[in-house]
Amino acid sequence: MLTIAPLDAQVPIHMQLGESASPTILINLFTVDATDVDALLKAWEVDANWMKQQPGYISTQLHRGIAGSNVFLNYAVWESVAHFRAAFTHPEFASALEAYPSSAIAQPHLFSRVAVPNLCTE
């Protein structure tokens, strides 16, 4: 089963789920033993396909660290925290976490865009 750990110990995901932001970006870092990479990818694919069917889902992209890294980064865009919260706390999604290998650790965190003049739009 997947272990969920905070990316930011001061503001873990369960605290973020009570906020309201639109849109919101999920960054989820996964680490896994090398022998469990295939199992992680299979479980993530099932979850991503389920999330894709949920209201408010916009897109997702999985990335893997280079040079043999067993660190993965999922970048997902949601219409709002409320939409993500409904999917993330859904019992069907929670039960799917059991399909992840026991070596897998996820660190989900929600973000909103930051405006920086001449560089980033909000």
Share of the chain above pLDDT 90, in %: 96
Please give the domain boundaries of the chain with CATH numbers for all domains. 3-111 (3.30.70.100)
pTM: 0.93
Vertex 91: Cα angle to 27 and 32 (nearest 5):
40
**How far apart (Å, rounded) are the C-alpha atoms in residues 39 and 99?**
8
Structure tokens at 101: 């290998």
Whole-angstrom Cα Rg for the chain: 15
Q: What's residue 1's pLDDT? A: 85
Closest residue by Cα to residue 82 from 34, 3, 21, 28: 21
Say whether 86 sits in a helix, a strand or coil: helix
List pLDDT tens digits, range 7-64.
Answer: 999 999 999 999 999 999 999 999 999 999 999 999 999 999 999 999 999 999 999 9
